[in-house]
Every structure is written in C-alpha cells, then in structure tokens.
Amino acid sequence: MRPPTRLGSLVLRRGFASTARRLDNYAFVGLGQMGYQMAKNLQSKLGPSDKVSIFDINTEALKGLEMEMKAAKGGAAVELAASAFDASKDADTVITVLPEPQHVQGVYKSILTDSLPKKNRIFIDCSTIDPSTSRAVASSVSAAGQGTFVDAPMSGGVVGATAGTLTFMLGAAPSLVPRLEPVLLRMGKKVLHCGEQGAGLSAKLANNYLLALNNIATAEAMNLGIKWGLDPKTLAGVINVSTGKCWPSEVNNPVAGVVEAAPANRDYRGGFGIALMKKDLRLAMVAAEEAGARMELAKPAFDVYEKAGKEEQCQGRDFSVVYRYLGGKE
C-alpha cells in the first residue's frame, strides 16, 4: 500500500478541523430590522429536519416572519415561542439580537432560570453592547451550567442582513470557532475571530468610534471645500485618492450627488441611523473609561450627534446627516 502523501494528510487534517457538530434546534430572540432578516436567512439555509423557534415582544414582527418563512417553503421548521425562555428551552444554539445592554441582561435573566433544562448550549449574542455587560452575562451563563456565551456583533447594516453578507466580529475561545462559524455564515459572509469572549465587541466599538469621527470630519471637509467654491465631486475625487480617504468619503459621502447609492441622495433616509451611531459612541466611551484609554475627541463627537439628533431635519436619518446639521449646502 502506498503511504499517504504529505498533501493528502494536510487535506485530511484541514477537513477534520473545519467540521462542526450538527446542531438541530435553534432559538432566535430579537426581530428588529437586523434580527428579522438574519433569522430569515438562518431558517432558509437550514435543513427540514432542523427547527428554529423565534421570539420577539413585537407580535406583528413575530407573525410576519413566520408567514414569510412558511411562504418561502423549504428550510427549517418554524415555531413561534411565547417567551425568550420558551424559545430557548429545547435549543442547542440560541441567537440574540437586542437593542441595548439592559435588554440583553433582561432577556438572559429570563432564560437562565432553574426551570431551564441543563444543556451544553451555545448562546450567540449579536447585539452591540459594552464588553463589561457582555462578560457579566457570559459569567451568568457559565454559573448556571447552561453552556457558553459568545459575542458576535456584526457590520453591514440592514442591507447586509437582508443579503446575507454581514461580517461578524467574534469573541470566543478558539476551540469554539469551528462550531460557531457554520451558524454565523448562514447569516453572513465573513467571520473575524478577534479573541476571547468580549473581544468581538471591543473590536466593533473601536471601529465604530473611528467611523463616528471620520463621518464628522468628512462632513466638515466637504462643507469647507464647497464653501471655498470647489465642486463636490471634484473634492471627493481628490480626497479619495489622497490621505483623507475613508469609508464616509468614498462610500457614504454626506453630499448629495457625489455617491449615487449614499443616503444623502434619499434625504438621508435609510443607512445607519444617527441614534444608533450616538449609542455606539456612548458605549465606546464607557468601555474606554473602564479600560483607562484616553479619547480626546469622543465627547465633542458625541455632542455633535446628540445635538443633530434633536433637530427635526436630522431625526431618524442616516448618521451622515451631520453634514446638514453643520449647514452644508444641499
């Protein structure tokens, strides 16, 4: 018999490492704009022998998603749950997508009762909250002997959630990654393992802090150049091949007519809401204070988003609307 080649053994080792245990029962809690689309993608990409139990306090969203899932046919069986506990009691994997730290704490407190059957569950929290709250919830899951809690905040917005192209920033033990990746990749396109539990949130908040500042700076620079008489497209073209290039200048430019797909061309409708950016900036500030990290520009930036968010012409719009708040020409 011919001995196995080095290449053959490499392929076998690689295949073994990437094989995850099959998980049949899923719970999905939190059907907001992001969660609704994520749950829909998850269910559609599972097999008919699998089950997804869904819950949200918004009964209209709950029933609407059930109708959409069943109308599409195929995918996992769908079950409406009466509570987060009810959704989780038989689940191997529980996914939560919730608005604020207090919501995450409240939902997990309701799940981790003495009535919950003991099981080696994986709890995947895709909410954007502060790392310290996430670590506290992880400790409560561990203390209850109910499995493991990981953080997997995402990037890509509602468009990415709908298209299944989200990027997840994962905070989990390396040994869990092969088990977690197949689940996340049913809802997204990329999983970036950032380190142990809490690391995903730290990476997400650091990124969004930089995004918050870049957005304001881009709005100010565009406003400055236009007031000097520069054509907006010409100015953006210079910035985007120079050292000022950033996502707000190139993809989400705050001036209408510069980037066709940007919210600025739709009266700043859609996109990443200014209230959400203010929330993420606040969370980054809390995390920075706990870590002893100086952020000199955080408070001025927070004030800009807070003041802009109170103006009727900016409320409920994409965070690039700060250009309008600054008096930019439209």
Strand-pair partners of 121: 147
15 or 30: which carries more pLDDT confidence?
30
**To the nearest whole number, what is the mean pLDDT of the chain?**
92
Nearest to 103 by CA among 154, 169, 44, 31: 31
pLDDT (tens digit, 9 = 90+) per residue, 76-96? 999 999 999 999 999 999 999
Taking the C-alpha atoms of residue 112 and residue 56, their distance in angstroms, rounded to an integer, is 17
Report whether pLDDT(131) > 80. Answer: yes
* Whole-number Å distance between alpha carbons of 249 and 144: 47
Which phi and psi (to 5°) does residue 179 adopt?
A: -80, -30
As assigned by CATH, the class of the 6-197 domain is alpha beta
The long-range contacts involving 60-65, CB below 8 angstroms and separated by at least 24 positions, are 61/31, 61/32, 61/36, 62/31, 65/31, 65/36, 65/39, 65/40
Domain boundaries, the chain: 6-197, 203-325
User: Does residue 5 carry a pLDDT above 60?
Assistant: no
What is the percentage of the chain residues whose pLDDT exceeds 90?
90
Question: Can you give the pLDDT at residue 159?
Answer: 86
160-167 average pLDDT score: 95
Task: Give residue 23's pLDDT.
Answer: 52
- The reported pLDDT for the residue numbered 129 is 97
In degrees and rounded to multiples of 5, residue 122 shows phi and psi of -110, 120
Q: What's the confidence (pLDDT) of residue 73?
A: 84
Query: pTM of this prediction?
Result: 0.88
Could you give phi then psi for residue 117, rounded to 5 degrees?
-60, 140
The third-level CATH classification (topology) of the domain covering 203-325 is N-(1-d-carboxylethyl)-l-norvaline Dehydrogenase; domain 2 (1.10.1040)
Q: Quick check: 15 pLDDT over 80?
A: no
- Active site (annotated) includes residue 233: no
Catalytic residue among 89, 204, 278, 279: 204
Q: Exposed, middle or buried: residue 226 (CB in 10 Å: 0-12, 13-18, 19+)?
A: middle
Please report the pLDDT score of residue 20 as a whole number: 46
Residue percentage of the chain with pLDDT more than 70: 93
